[in-house]
Structure 1
Amino acid sequence: DEEVIEHARDADYIFALFGKVKGPYREGKYYLLDKINRPEVTAYITDSEWTSTSYLDSPTQCAEAKINPARHRGEPWINEEMYSKCRWYFKRLVFPEDLDREKIIPCYIGACNRYFGKPEDKEFDIFCSFGQLEDGLRQPVHDYCCGLGGDLMALARRGPAVGWDRSAEMAHLATANLDVLGASEHSQVRVQEIEAMAPLPGEVWHLDPDRRSSGRRSTQMEWHSPGPEFIEHLRKIAPDGVLKLAPAAEVPEPWNQEAEREWISWNRQCRQQVVWFGALAQQSCLRRATVVTKTANCLEDPRVHSFVGQSTTRAPQGSQVEEYIYDIDPAVRAAGLTGALARDQNLVALEKESGYLTSAIFCGHPLLTGFQVLDVLPLRVKSLSSFLRKQSIGRLEIKKRGIETDPEQLRQKLKLQGEESRTLLLTRLGEREIAILAQRCLDGVTGSSLKD
């Protein structure tokens, strides 16, 4: 037990997940978390009460779990279901790093275990068994300009949250939403001008400022309410915070070095820019592009992929269209990471970085949409129309980058006929405008091959 306590005292974060296994009665209560005494970095899951539990803390959710007088021995395991849930709920709101499997160091509370190797970049310790995800952190998050409470509800799912809004009507609606969520016992909404209320040192804040304070929606932070001055005030008091902005919004230059900026896309649209301050910034000075895609249970477990890089990196230029061509996710473009992603994946750019990327070998990156090139043609309506008719192509997805041609007007002029379906990518190669006939790829296989 002393080994566990010593290791936990040096941990950056402690993920305490509990389950009471009803085994032989033991007198007294177990106070391991009291001995560790680090509640400010501990996440509590599954009705875990601070200081003690009625039984020795032990793994649950596993049919093989058995209680014996010698406690649990042997190697710990990772519960797959709870790993998936915890990875989504806690990757951003609690921890400054993703919960990657290789960074999970499971250990039974109350049992002595050997710890596995530490990550090179940052020690990240998670111990205890996986139980039901319910409580989250004890420390509240302050949600300023909470409005109806959309973000507040998400914050309340991981633990206590306090919403702030100047509008009594909005506060009433946000409170009702917390009631529906069943989070009103540990979260609340207050009516107040947020400029008059700041978090305590060490607390975490979230701010989605009003972008219409002047009557018209603006991407300039000077027209937001509250503006950059108040945000700087927040940072001085409580450095750890999250700021939501429009994708096109620019931030004060020092923030580019002090914070991490992230652009998030959903359904092929860049919807949000998020600025992470303090300990919430995973990699300050860098930019992050994140794509969120639907799954069968998209509300609780969407698929999330990110790429981090320098916005100053430029993509190598190509002089010809290779075997595969790629459209870049809008979040990558908005973050200015096209060049960084191209170099990371050994791709070259056609024309400027506003165009497409290409490669001889397929690249299955989640922030790229790949197409297998079937033919490269001059962008001339008459010859293009004749070629498509010969191929019996009647359904055509038309995409463009770097040229003025209107896809729908071109579609009408092509007078498509036939049963085949293809994609036409319009772009520029040198001084020429070209049309690339392609087939969308799914995990490196063309759509037609999958169908066959």
Structure 2
Amino acid sequence: MTYDLSEGDVAFLRSRYGSKALEFAAELQVTPSTLVADLGQLRARYPEHFAAVAEVTAARRRAVGKLRYADQLLADDDAVQQATAAPVAALRAADIASLHHGALVHDVTCSIGAELTALAAEPGIGGVIGSDLDHIRLAMAQHNLSVAGGTGPRPTLLRADALTVTSTADLVIADPGRRNTRGRVFGIDQLDPPLLELLSVYAGRALAVKCSPGLDYRNLRTRFGFDGQVQVVSLDGGVREACLWTEVPGLPENRASVLRTMSDGRPRLYEVTSGDPDALDDPGVDEWIIDPDGAVVRSGLVRQYAHRHGLRQLDPQIAYLTGDHVPVGERGFRILEQLPVTEKVLRGALAARKCGSLEILVRGLDIDPDRLRKKLKLKGAEPYALVMTRIGRQGVAFLCEPGIRAT
């Protein structure tokens, strides 16, 4: 359960004594087996603020690998979960600098300042404003910005409602809350603030709204008349968000942005857009099956991606692709044999190859991979992959070598 920090908690944590308390807490294990003892130590040392120290310590650990300066942040668990991962925020900042060079940017839901940090570090941005209704989060943002430093202009912070226009910034960023007391929400009217209200308040102004990657953007276009760009972003194979861009002329309707962290820690980016060519050879089956990144699939750009890499589809309605090679950086499965989708046949084929571990990928069929794996009763030692889909109305399974990522 997340602990809600008070104004007094944040003031303490920003002090020299609070810093020492967080250093002490960082040395504790805080595992299920040590939790009671660890909290007892914190309560004995910091009776008024022990819960806040524990909350921030847990939030810092969650932020490792997601946010910059994770070990120095002031944040609660909810704020870290909502915060945009640093490479995604940096990509957006670079986009803004390219589209609106020298712009004044206003993040109207700035929370603990994760996005502000990326904006302030981007040299092509002229100025940054951050606002939020939660004065506790603003106090944490002030601390986090001081930790991050940067060579650009220091962001200006103010307390304001996101649905009240408080600046004449060239571009507005909003990140509506996607959680309530019952957990994650998905409807556009359940966001906080509601998506349609945001689009209405800032109509006619350049706006970037971060939404859940599961956003039904087709419904947003057809039912509500949204005519901007939908950018779906993934990071290291996980789809992170759908960002809606308005009032930026010339942008293609859909864009997939795929970020991969390289061995040196730097992100590598490739993008596919609805403005790219999408002509393909007729569907068929070749040597390899390629499962495109989730950002490409969710943005409806599978054909454009396939055209770029000389691939084709197994079926026009299915996102799996096939070809005689695997694009660099992508994952592919070399086909060994094609099988019908029946448990008896699959069990026999896997037993003949002494299969002991099996990765199962499914598209277009109502099959639970975990339940199927148990029914197949694997007893060997060899690893394989099973790609299950349909071609036309016929279910089909491809027994493959284990997946590889092309280099």
How far off its partner does 1:380 sit? 2.4
Match of 1:248 among 214, 217, 236: 214
How far off its partner does 1:235 sit? 4.2
Match of 1:404 among 366, 384, 405: 366
2:268 aligns with 303
Residue type of the partner of 2:212? A
Query: Equivalent residue of 1:195, what SS?
Result: coil
For residues 38-80 of structure 1, give each alpha carbon's deviation from its aligned partner in whole angstroms, at most 9, with x where no partner exists.
Answer: xxxxxxxxxxxxxxxxxxxxxxxxxxxxxxxxxxxxxxxxxxx
Residue type of the partner of 1:206? I
Match of 1:234 among 199, 202, 216: 202
Residue type of the partner of 1:153? T
Task: Flag the 1:412–1:223 CA change in 2: closer, same or farther, 3 A.
Answer: closer
1:436 paired to 2:398: yes
Query: Equivalent residue of 2:163, what SS?
Result: helix
1:276 aligns with 245
Greater Cα offset, 161-170 or 428-437: 428-437
Question: Contact (CA 8 Å) 1:257, 1:284: kept in 2 or not?
Answer: no
Equivalent residues in 2 for 1:250-399, closer than 5 Å = 250=217, 251-253=220-222, 258-279=227-248, 283-298=250-265, 301-309=266-274, 318=283, 320-359=284-323, 361-364=324-327, 366=329, 369-399=331-361
Task: Flag the 1:441–1:264 CA change in 2: closer, same or farther, 3 A.
Answer: same
2:114 aligns with 150
Residue type of the partner of 1:273? A
1:5 aligns with none
Residue type of the partner of 2:389? T
Task: Flag the 1:163–1:257 CA change in 2: closer, same or farther, 3 A.
Answer: closer
Match of 2:98 among 95, 98, 106: 95
How far off its partner does 1:204 sit? 2.4
Query: Equivalent residue of 2:335, what SS?
Result: strand
Residue type of the partner of 2:325? F
1:180 aligns with 147
Residue type of the partner of 2:160? Q
Cα separation, 2, equivalents of 1:220 and 1:343:
34
Match of 2:168 among 191, 200, 205: 200
Question: Contact (CA 8 Å) 2:360, 2:385: kept in 1 or not?
Answer: yes
How far off its partner does 1:216 sit? 6.5
Residue type of the partner of 2:355? I
How far off its partner does 1:264 sit? 0.8
1:101 aligns with none
Question: Contact (CA 8 Å) 1:195, 1:226: kept in 2 or not?
Answer: no
Task: Flag the 1:423–1:213 CA change in 2: closer, same or farther, 3 A.
Answer: closer
Question: Contact (CA 8 Å) 1:258, 1:285: kept in 2 or not?
Answer: no
Match of 1:141 among 81, 93, 105: 105
Query: Scaled by the length of structure 2, what TM-score is found?
Result: 0.66
Match of 1:422 among 375, 384, 389: 384
Residue type of the partner of 1:207? A
How far off its partner does 1:369 sit? 2.9
How far off its partner does 1:142 sit? 0.9
How far off its partner does 1:398 sit? 1.2
Task: Flag the 1:256–1:312 CA change in 2: closer, same or farther, 3 A.
Answer: farther
How far off its partner does 1:240 sit? 3.1
In structure 1, runs of 5+ residues without a counterpart are: 1-86, 98-136, 445-452
Cα separation, 2, equivalents of 1:93 and 1:256:
24
Identity of aligned residues (%): 25
Cα separation, 1, equivalents of 2:356 and 2:252:
48
Cα separation, 2, equivalents of 1:214 and 1:420:
46
Question: Contact (CA 8 Å) 1:423, 1:437: kept in 2 or not?
Answer: yes
For residues 147-179 of structure 1, give each alpha carbon's deviation from its aligned partner in whole angstroms, at most 9, with x where no partner exists.
Answer: 122212221222542210011111111111112
1:190 paired to 2:190: no
Cα separation, 1, equivalents of 2:325 and 2:131:
49
In structure 2, runs of 5+ residues without a counterpart are: 1-89
How far off its partner does 1:297 sit? 4.4
User: Aligned pairs, how many?
Assistant: 309
Cα separation, 1, equivalents of 2:201 and 2:177:
17
Question: Contact (CA 8 Å) 2:232, 2:243: kept in 1 or not?
Answer: yes
Task: Flag the 1:254–1:94 CA change in 2: closer, same or farther, 3 A.
Answer: farther
Question: Contact (CA 8 Å) 2:163, 2:201: kept in 1 or not?
Answer: no
Question: Contact (CA 8 Å) 2:231, 2:244: kept in 1 or not?
Answer: yes
Query: Scaled by the length of structure 1, what TM-score is found?
Result: 0.60
Task: Flag the 1:353–1:199 CA change in 2: closer, same or farther, 3 A.
Answer: farther
Cα separation, 2, equivalents of 1:284 and 1:138:
19
Query: Equivalent residue of 1:340, what SS?
Result: helix
Query: CA-atom RMSD, angstroms?
Result: 3.4
Cα separation, 2, equivalents of 1:89 and 1:204:
12
How far off its partner does 1:182 sit? 2.0
Cα separation, 2, equivalents of 1:348 and 1:385:
29
Task: Flag the 1:430–1:215 CA change in 2: closer, same or farther, 3 A.
Answer: closer
2:66 aligns with none
Question: Contact (CA 8 Å) 1:328, 1:356: kept in 2 or not?
Answer: yes
Q: Which is richer in helix?
A: 2
Task: Flag the 1:228–1:384 CA change in 2: closer, same or farther, 3 A.
Answer: closer
Cα separation, 2, equivalents of 1:315 and 1:248:
27
